[in-house]
Structure formats: C-alpha cells, structure tokens
C-alpha cells in the first residue's frame, strides 16, 4: 500500500512539474510578443543607423546634426558647434523609437484638417544606407496634450504626445556642448592659475602626483588641486540665458573685475579660461575654445579664487604610518 501511494505521489509531482514547465515557457513566449494593445510606432529604426538629423521649427532657424567618422555628433547649422553627447543620445533614442498615442486615420484625404499641409515641426532623418524619413507634426488636438503627426509617404495619421514633441523639438542651444573647457583630466599635465595677484603653476611628478612648480618648487595639496581641476572640468555656461542676455554678457565681462585666469595643458594642447565678477556679484567667463562670453555659476568663480597659500601642502612632515 505504501509503495502504491509513493508511486501515485510521484506521478502527481511529475504532472505538476510538467505543467509548471509549460506554463513558464508560455509566459516567456508571450514576453517576446508585441503588446496588441500598445499604440502603433510611428518610427522604429536602430538609433545607431542615424547619421544625419535635421529639425525645422516654424519660424526658427533649421538645426542640422551630423555624425562624424569617429562617431561624434556635431551641429553643422545654423552654425558649427560641438554637440553635447548626452543630449544628442537622448534625442536619438526618442526619435528612433517614436510611439504614437493612437492611430487617427488609416488613409488621410485632407492634410489641412490636421495642420499637416504646413507642419509646425519637421524632422528629417538620414540613415547609413541612404534611406530617409520625414516626420511631420501639425496642429494640437482639440482636447490638447497631443499633436497630429504622420510620416511623409505614409497615409496614416497619428497623435503624438506633447512630451514626445517637446523631446524632439530641440534648438541649437539645447543640443550644443555647454562645457567651457574640453581637456582630458586623465591626461592633464599642467595647470597655471593666476588669482589673488599671483600666478601658481602645477605639474605632475614621476609618480603622477601634483607638485607646485612656480613661483618656486613646493609640495602641493593634492586634494585642493583635484577640486580645482574638477571645477574646471565641470565648468559650463549658464543654460538659462536668453539670446539677449548672451549679447549683454560681453559688455558685463568688460566692466567686471578679473577673479582668475587659468591655463590647462593636456596631450591635445593648452586651453585658457578667464573668469570675472561684476558689481552685482555675477560671474562671467571667456574661453579660448569658444566665441563669446557666458554667465557662469558663482561656485566656479569662488572655486578658482585661490592663491598659493590655499593650494600648497601645509603639513610639516609628509610620511605614511606604514
């Protein structure tokens, strides 16, 4: 009797194991299937296949982005500018997998009904194989929060969420590289800082540690130098400035008092940054790698306002417990 009971239990266990196996297999198969309730994709291509992107905004200058042979993106119109990698990656990720809110019409007969005869936004995508896609964005829907959109050559009309439109409707200012210096901190070999009425030059010794070279050889405070380098590496122009404020910044810079001038040298060469402070306690900077003058955060000006006493090693002895 006991043997018969054990056999029955084993059969039941095997049956249950089989059910679990096939259930899990079915679930995994469903995971790979597209959601039938998901809104249709307007664009579905590989992000890395895009080599050129053009954004035409109603009444605004056309923005053109092009991918270089080294894989870096550059703004080529309305003027040549370095592009911010993170911002461009985000834009490409959005536009390459652009989903609609819903399908409005399978075969449109009158584009004017949706404002697509004279679209407010046009995005042109060029791929490696030469294929091009043209996205048209027209009027806002009567209920708001969506816009009518379609691909040129595709008879269907979709609605596009407002946040998706905002994510792709970018200006040159949104996508430009906002760094004031582009040196490689890992290959940085020399820093010259003029502030508080004197110039201090730092160099790296054979062990890769910072040392004061001028005005005379001294031990440097490694932590203070790294913080200074960090300020320079992260130095960016104020992204909230309007075009008018940017124009006025040059005059404000000319009247302001100099806080610091810094030269940084890496394997690619030397770059220079000058920071000034206005009577209104606003900081402005001018970089050797950029045209114009830009407003910057006060933390940059304060972080560069350092003299020899702030940056030298003040320990009487310098040895380790080991």
Q: How confident is the model over 197-247, as pLDDT tens digits?
A: 899 999 998 888 899 999 999 989 989 999 999 999 999 988 777 777 778
Assess if residue 33 is contained within a domain. no
Residue 196, helix vs strand vs coil: coil
Q: Are residues 99 and 191 in the same domain?
A: no
- Examine the fold and report which residue of 175, 198, 220 is the final residue of a domain before the chain moves on: 175
Report phi then psi at 244, rounded to 5: -65, -40
The contacts of residue 54 (CB under 8 Å, 6+ apart) are 62, 63, 64, 65, 122, 123, 124
> Whole-angstrom Cα distance, residue 160 to residue 140?
9
User: Which of 33, 161, 36, 155 lies closest to 100, judged by CA?
Assistant: 161
281 lies in a domain? Answer: yes
Residue 91 belongs to some domain of the structure: yes
Which residue bears the tokens 């993106």?
73
3-class DSSP state of 226: helix
Clarify whether residues 102 and 63 are in a common domain. yes
pLDDT of residue 200: 94
| Residue carrying the six token digits 């306002």 | 305
Last residue of a domain, one of 132, 148, 175: 175
Q: Which residues of 232-252 are buried (b: 16+ CB within 10 A; e: fewer)?
A: bbebbbbeeeeeeebeebeeb
Do 157 and 209 fall into the same domain? Answer: no
Final residue of a structural domain among 120, 146, 175: 175
Average pLDDT for the chain: 88
The torsion angles phi and psi of 290, rounded to 5 degrees, stand at -135, 155
3-state secondary structure of 26: helix
Per-residue pLDDT tens digits for 124-176 = 999 999 999 999 999 999 988 999 999 999 999 999 999 999 999 999 989 99
Structural domain span for residue 307: 185-311
Shared-domain flag, residues 114 and 227: no
Smallest CA-to-CA distance from 291 within 127, 3, 81, 67 is with: 81
pLDDT greater than 70 at residue 15 = no
């Amino acid at each position: 009797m006991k043997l018969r009971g054990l056999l029955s239990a084993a059969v039941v266990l095997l049956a249950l194991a089989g059910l679990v196996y096939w259930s899990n297999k079915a679930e995994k198969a469903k995971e790979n299937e597209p959601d039938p309730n998901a809104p249709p994709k307007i664009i579905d291509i590989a992000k890395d296949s895009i080599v050129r992107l053009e954004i035409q905004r109603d009444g605004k200058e056309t923005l053109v982005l092009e991918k270089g042979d080294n894989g870096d993106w550059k703004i080529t119109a309305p003027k040549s500018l370095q592009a911010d990698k993170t911002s461009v990656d985000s834009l490409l990720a959005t536009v390459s997998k652009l989903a609609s809110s819903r399908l409005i019409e399978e075969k449109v007969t009158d584009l004017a009904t949706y404002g697509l005869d004279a679209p407010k936004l046009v995005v042109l995508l060029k791929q490696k194989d030469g294929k091009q896609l043209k996205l048209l964005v027209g009027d806002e829907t009567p209920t708001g929060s969506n816009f009518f959109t379609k691909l040129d050559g595709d008879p269907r009309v979709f609605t596009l969420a407002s946040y998706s439109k905002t994510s792709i409707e970018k200006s040159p200012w949104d996508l430009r590289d906002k760094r004031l210096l582009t040196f490689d901190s890992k290959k940085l070999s020399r820093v010259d800082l003029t502030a508080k009425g004197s110039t201090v030059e730092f160099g790296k010794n054979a062990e890769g540690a910072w040392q004061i070279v001028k005005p005379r050889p001294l031990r440097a405070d490694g932590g203070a130098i790294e913080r200074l380098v960090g300020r320079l590496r992260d130095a960016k122009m104020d992204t909230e400035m309007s075009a008018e404020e940017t124009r006025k910044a040059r005059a404000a810079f000319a009247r302001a008092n100099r806080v610091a001038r810094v030269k940084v040298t890496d394997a690619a060469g030397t770059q220079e940054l000058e920071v000034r402070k206005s009577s209104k306690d606003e900081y402005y900077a001018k970089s050797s790698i950029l045209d114009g003058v830009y407003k910057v955060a006060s933390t940059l000006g304060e972080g560069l306002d350092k003299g020899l006493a702030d940056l030298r090693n003040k320990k009487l002895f310098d040895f380790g417990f080991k």
